[in-house]
Amino acid sequence: MTYKYPDVALLVFCKAPVIGQVKTRLMPQLNAEQAVNVHIELTERTLSLLDKAHYCPIQLWCSPYLEHPFFEKCVDNYAISLHLQQGNDLGERMHHAINTALESSSTVLIIGCDCPSLTSDDIEFAITALQAENEVVIAPAEDGGYVMIGMRKAQPHLFLNMTWGHEQVFEYTHQRIKELDLMLIKTRKQWDVDTFDDLQRYRCDIGVTV
């Protein structure tokens, strides 16, 4: 396949769709199986968007293991490669993935699989904005976190010994960026599907009733 930015690696982080282990914050409005189906739907939506853009090679970084029928299905349906997340927390896993990808690519972006507001234009903006090793691009989220981060050089201080899953993740990351004298490039603010209210917002956007 011919890519517009062949030296860029786009890393999609994804959990195996195991009942009771994904999208648990959608319950009790949804049952565990319905929550899994939302996770699968959002992941396939993300991979389809990226696959059709033909911007760069796509890597699906899987947790907690690669041997799941859903991941095998993704390989069959999309031009992606599978990789295993490694580390004790999200920060360690992200740092490991970035460090690994930068061994063969000049630029790396990490995104989640559940952000319906992220468009192909947002991805291309992030790719083209990164021109120097001291730059970091981030797509901040409405909930205080972020849904995408990219760089041309590994920056372990942005990921290690960090607390995750709270409304100040972006601010803490921004502070570390300033401490390292790096340049922050922000995309427009995004939102992902964590809660049932988020799911209703997503369904409304695509014209489907929850």
Q: Which domains occur in the chain, in start order?
A: 8-203 (3.90.550.10)
Amino acid at 190: Q
Q: What is the Cα–Cα distance from 67 to 54, expressed in whole angstroms?
A: 26
Q: Which long-range contacts (CB under 8 A, 24 or more apart) does 200-208 make?
A: 202/42, 202/116, 205/116, 206/116
Q: Which residues of the chain have pLDDT under 70?
A: 209-210
pLDDT of residue 210: 53
Q: Which two tokens stand for residue 90?
A: 């999200």
pLDDT of residue 206: 85
pLDDT of residue 1: 82
Q: What is the pTM of this model?
A: 0.96
CA of residue 67 relative to chain centroid, distance? 20
pLDDT of residue 207: 75
Q: What letters, b where the CB count within 10 A reaches 16 and e where it falls short, cover 105-144?
A: bebbbbbbbbbbbbeeebbebbbeebeeeebbbbbbbebe
